[in-house]
Structure 1
Amino acid sequence: MQRPRLVTAAPAERADPIDRRELQPEAPAAPADAAPAPQKARRAPGARKMLLGAAVVAALAGGGWYGYEWWTEGRFLVETDDAYVGADMAVVAPKISGYVESVAVADNAPVKAGEPLLNVDPADFRLALQAAEGKIATQQASIDRFDSQIAAAEAQTAQAKAQVDSASADRDRAAADYERAQQLVKSTYGSKQALDQAKADRDRTVAAVEAARAGVAAAEANRAVLAAQKGEAQRTLQEFETARAQRQRDLDATLIRAPFDGVIGNKAVQVGDYVTPGKRLMAVVPLDRVYVDANFKETQLAEVKPGAKVRLSVDAYPEHDVTGVVDSLAPASGAQFSLLPPENATGNFTKIVQRVPVRIRVDPQDVAKGRLRPGLSVIASVDTRTAPKLTSDAADLRR
C-alpha cells in the first residue's frame, strides 16, 4: 500500500523591505594601475567544430599529397641510408730502408702526380751504385782481354795452318825424291844409301804434316776455350749490369713521388724517422675520382640496374644534393667477402636479409666541387624509371 504524497505549496517570497546589498560592507577600491582580472575564455561550440573540420581537411590534404607523391614518384625510388663515399686512395710506403732526410708535404696538402713527397738518405745507395759500376768496368776489361787473346789464338791458328801447308810441300818433295831414288836403285845408277835417305826424308815430312795439323787443332781449341771464357765473362757482365740496375732503382726509390693527383692524408712520418719497406707513411686521396658504395638489401635489387640515375643526399651537406649513375653491382653480398663468411649449412638457421654493394659513379660536375670526402655518409635513392631497357639477349640472360 503506497503512502500518500504530501504536496506542500512553496511559501510566497517574503518581501524584504531592507536591501541586503546595502548591509554588505563595501570592497576597498582597487588601485588605478591594477590590471583587470582575466576572464576565462569560453569557446563557442561552433569554433570547436570549425577547428576539428580544419584538422580533418589538413589531414586529408596531407594524405592526398603523400599518396600522389608516392604514386607518381615514390614507388619508383629504391633508397638506402647504408651508403658511403669512397675513393681508391694509395698508401705511400718505401721500398728501401733508411733514415728520412726530408719531407716535402704537409697534412691535407694537395699534390700533383710525380711531385716529391719525401726523401730517404741516399748516401748508402749511391755508394752501392758506384760499387756496381766498378764491377762492371772490371768485367768489361776482362772481356776486352779475352778479345785480344782470341785474336792471338786466331793468328796462331793461321800460323799452324801455314805450317801444315809447308809440311805438306816438304812431304810431297820427299815422296818424289824417294820415288826417283827407287828408280835409280833399280837401274843400278843409284846407291842404297841414297834410297834410305830419301825414305827417311819422306817419313819425316809426313810426320811434320801431322804435327802441323795437330798444331792447327790445338790453336783452334785454344780459340774455342777463349771464346767460351769470353761468353762466361759476358754473362757475368750482364749479372753486374742487373745488379747496377737494382742499385739504381734503390737509389731512385729514396725519392718518393705522388702516384697521382690528390690530397695528402694520414701522414705519419717526420724527418729523422727510420723507415722500412712496407711501412705506412701517408696516404694520397684522389678527390677527383670519388664514388659511392651503396649497400642495398637483396629485396631491393630487382629494379636496380646499371645506368639508372641516383640522387645522393650527403649528411655533411644536406642542402646540396648530388647526382650519380649506377655503375655496377658487386658479384656477391658483403658477407661473402668478410673475414669469416657465414656458414648457413650448420647449426640452427635464422634468415637475415643480405646486402649487396652497388657502385655509384658520381657526376663529374659534383665531384669537381670538392665537397665529397671518402667515408662520408650518404642516402642513395635510385630512380628505377631511368634504367636503360635491356635488349632481348640481355633479358634472356637475366631470366
Structure 2
Amino acid sequence: MSSPAPTPAAAPAPNPARKKALAAVASVVAVAGLAYGAYWALVLNHYETTDNAYVQGNVVQVTPQIGGTVLAIQAEDTDHVKAGQVLVRLDPADAKVALEQAEAQLAQTVREVRTLYANNRVSQAQVALRSADLARAKAELTRIQEDVDRRQPLVATGAVGREEFQHVSAQLTAARATVAAAESALQAAREQQAASQSLTEGTTPEQHPSVLRAAARVREAALAVQRTDLVAPVEGYVARRNVQLGQRVQAGAPMMSVIALDQVWVEANFKESQLARLRLEQPVELTADVYGKKVVYHGVVEGLGAGTGAAFALLPAQNATGNWIKVVQRVPVRVRLDPKELAEHPLRVGLSMEARVDVAREDGKVLSDASHAVGALNGAERDTR
C-alpha cells in the first residue's frame, strides 16, 4: 500500500520592511548616480587634470670666457645674488700683461703709420727733384743740339775745326744719356711714390688698417682683464657650485648656476587624449606637494609643446619594429604662474605639482604666435661671463 503524498510547504509571508529597505537603497543609488552624472556634466567635464607636472626654470650657468686661476669665490650654494654681482675672481696678472703688450704694440703701430704718411711727402719731393733734373738735362741737350746744328755746316768750309766739332758731338751724346738717366730716375721716383701712396690711400692715420688692428687687440686684451671678474647674469639663487680656490679653469667650464626663482613656470604633461579642449590662456589651479592642498596656485596656459616627450628622448621609440605596443604619449603644456603667489610661497625647480585646467573656455588659440624674450630677464644686456 503506497504512502500518502507529502503536502507542499507553505510560501513565506512577504516582508514589507525588507521591500522598503531595498527600495530605499535603490533610490539612494539612483539619486547618487544622477547626482554624480550631473556633477560630471556640470563640473568634472570642464576640467582636465594631471599629476605629471613639475616646476621648471631658467638654470643659467656661469662659465668663464678666458682661462685662469681662481683667486676668490664670493658666492656659495643657496646664496641670493643680484644681477651684476661678482661671483668669482680669476687671477688678472696674465691678462694685464697682455693688455700692456697690446698697448705698446698700438703705440708702435701708430708711429709706423705716421712714418708711412711722412714717406709720402718724401716721395713727392723726390718726384719733384727728379722732374727738375730732367728739365735741366733737356735744356742742356737742347743747347748742345743747337751748337751742333750751327757748327755742322761750318765744318765743310773750314770755319770750324773737325776736332772741335767732334768734341761738341761727344757733348751731345753725353747730354742725351743724361736725359735718359733723368727720365729713368723720374720714373723710379714715381713708382716709389705710387708704392708709398698705396699703403695710405683712402684712409687717415686714425683709420689705417694697421692702427685699427692694433686697437682691436687692445680692446680684446681689455676685455680679457674685465672678464677675470665673473658676475651674476641674472638675479637669483646660486646652485651647483663646483669651483674651488686655486683651481685652474678653462674657458667654457661650468663653475656654478644661478636660478631666478621668481620667474619659474610649470610644465604639465597631459595625455594626448586630454589635448582636444586645451587652449591658451585657460585658467589653471595647481598644488605643490611641498605645501600640500592648503596652498593653491593660480596660473594660465601659456603654450602647448610642439612635440611629445618621446620625440625628443635620447633613445626614441622604434615603432617600426615587429613587437609594437601602443603607449599613450604625453605633451608638455607650459603654465604661467602668478608672481605674487610665487613671492608668498616660493617654489624650487623640479618640484612636483598637480594641475587642473578649466577647459570650459575654448575661444583661445591652440598654438602661440608670440615669442618670449628669454635673454632679457632684467631688462638690460649684461656680460654673462
TM-score in same-fold range (> 0.5): yes
CA drift at 1:59: 6.7
C-alpha distance after superposition, 1:99-128 (max 9, x if no partner): 221222233222222121111111122112
Q: Is the CA contact (8 Å cut-off) linking 1:287 and 1:370 kept in structure 2?
A: no
C-alpha distance after superposition, 1:319-345 (max 9, x if no partner): 121122222222211111111111110
Partner SS state of residue 85, structure 1? strand
Bigger mean CA deviation after superposition, 191-200 or 263-272: 191-200
Counterpart position of 2:358: 383
Bigger mean CA deviation after superposition, 91-100 or 350-359: 91-100
Aligned mates of 1:63, 1:372 — CA distance in 2? 40
Q: 1:245 aligns with which of 216, 219, 225?
A: 219
1:109-258 mapped onto 2 (5 Å cutoff): 109-185=79-155, 190-227=160-197, 238-258=212-232
Aligned mates of 1:174, 1:385 — CA distance in 2? 115
Report 1 or 2 for greater relative contact order, CA contacts < 8 Å, sequence distance ≥ 6. Answer: 2
* Letter aligned with residue 281 of structure 1: M
Q: Residues 133 and 370 (structure 1 numbering): CA distance in 2 closer, same or farther, change over 3 Å?
A: farther
Unaligned runs of 5+ in 1: 3-46, 395-399
Q: Residues 293 and 212 (structure 1 numbering): CA distance in 2 closer, same or farther, change over 3 Å?
A: same
Aligned mates of 1:65, 1:371 — CA distance in 2? 39
Aligned mates of 2:284, 2:122 — CA distance in 1? 82
Superposition CA RMSD, Å: 3.5
Bigger mean CA deviation after superposition, 124-133 or 366-375: 366-375
CA drift at 1:293: 0.8
Aligned mates of 1:120, 1:274 — CA distance in 2? 9
Bigger mean CA deviation after superposition, 134-143 or 290-299: 134-143
Specify which structure has the higher proportion of helix.
Answer: 1
Q: Is the CA contact (8 Å cut-off) linking 1:307 and 1:387 kept in structure 2?
A: no
C-alpha distance after superposition, 1:134-159 (max 9, x if no partner): 23333333333333334323222211
Q: Is the CA contact (8 Å cut-off) linking 1:113 and 1:259 kept in structure 2?
A: yes
Counterpart position of 1:28: none
Question: Does residue 347 in structure 1 map to residue 322 in structure 2?
Answer: yes
Tell me the TM-score normalised to structure 2 length.
0.78
Counterpart position of 1:373: 348
Q: Residues 53 and 218 (structure 1 numbering): CA distance in 2 closer, same or farther, change over 3 Å?
A: same
Q: Is the CA contact (8 Å cut-off) linking 2:240 and 2:257 kept in structure 1?
A: yes
Counterpart position of 1:291: 265
Tell me the TM-score normalised to structure 1 length.
0.76
Aligned mates of 1:165, 1:309 — CA distance in 2? 96
* Letter aligned with residue 79 of structure 2: A
1:87-106 mapped onto 2 (5 Å cutoff): 87-106=57-76
Partner SS state of residue 127, structure 1? helix
Q: Residues 292 and 154 (structure 1 numbering): CA distance in 2 closer, same or farther, change over 3 Å?
A: same
Q: Residues 52 and 116 (structure 1 numbering): CA distance in 2 closer, same or farther, change over 3 Å?
A: farther
Partner SS state of residue 388, structure 1? coil
Q: Residues 171 and 96 (structure 1 numbering): CA distance in 2 closer, same or farther, change over 3 Å?
A: same
Q: Residues 180 and 79 (structure 1 numbering): CA distance in 2 closer, same or farther, change over 3 Å?
A: same
CA drift at 1:50: 11
Q: Is the CA contact (8 Å cut-off) linking 1:309 and 1:387 kept in structure 2?
A: no
Aligned mates of 2:26, 2:231 — CA distance in 1? 68
Q: Which has the larger radius of gyration?
A: 1
Partner SS state of residue 307, structure 1? coil
1:56-95 mapped onto 2 (5 Å cutoff): 65-95=35-65
Aligned mates of 1:164, 1:71 — CA distance in 2? 111
Aligned mates of 2:102, 2:341 — CA distance in 1? 52
Q: Is the CA contact (8 Å cut-off) linking 1:116 and 1:258 kept in structure 2?
A: yes
CA drift at 1:196: 3.7
Aligned mates of 1:96, 1:50 — CA distance in 2? 88
Q: Residues 95 and 370 (structure 1 numbering): CA distance in 2 closer, same or farther, change over 3 Å?
A: farther
Unaligned runs of 5+ in 2: 3-16, 370-385
Aligned mates of 1:99, 1:49 — CA distance in 2? 90
Aligned mates of 2:252, 2:320 — CA distance in 1? 40
Q: Is the CA contact (8 Å cut-off) linking 1:122 and 1:251 kept in structure 2?
A: yes
Aligned mates of 2:156, 2:341 — CA distance in 1? 122
Bigger mean CA deviation after superposition, 216-225 or 50-59: 50-59
Q: Residues 128 and 197 (structure 1 numbering): CA distance in 2 closer, same or farther, change over 3 Å?
A: same
Give me the identity figure in percent: 34
Bigger mean CA deviation after superposition, 60-69 or 206-215: 60-69
Q: Residues 312 and 186 (structure 1 numbering): CA distance in 2 closer, same or farther, change over 3 Å?
A: farther
* Letter aligned with residue 90 of structure 1: V
CA drift at 1:222: 3.0
Question: Does residue 364 in structure 1 map to residue 334 in structure 2?
Answer: no
Counterpart position of 1:331: 306
Q: Residues 242 and 370 (structure 1 numbering): CA distance in 2 closer, same or farther, change over 3 Å?
A: farther
C-alpha distance after superposition, 1:147-184 (max 9, x if no partner): 33343232222111111111122222223333333455
Aligned mates of 1:112, 1:387 — CA distance in 2? 41
Counterpart position of 2:238: 264
Counterpart position of 2:284: 310
Partner SS state of residue 129, structure 2? helix
Question: Does residue 321 in structure 1 map to residue 296 in structure 2?
Answer: yes
Q: Is the CA contact (8 Å cut-off) linking 2:72 and 2:89 kept in structure 1?
A: yes
Aligned mates of 2:290, 2:25 — CA distance in 1? 36
Q: Is the CA contact (8 Å cut-off) linking 2:279 and 2:364 kept in structure 1?
A: no
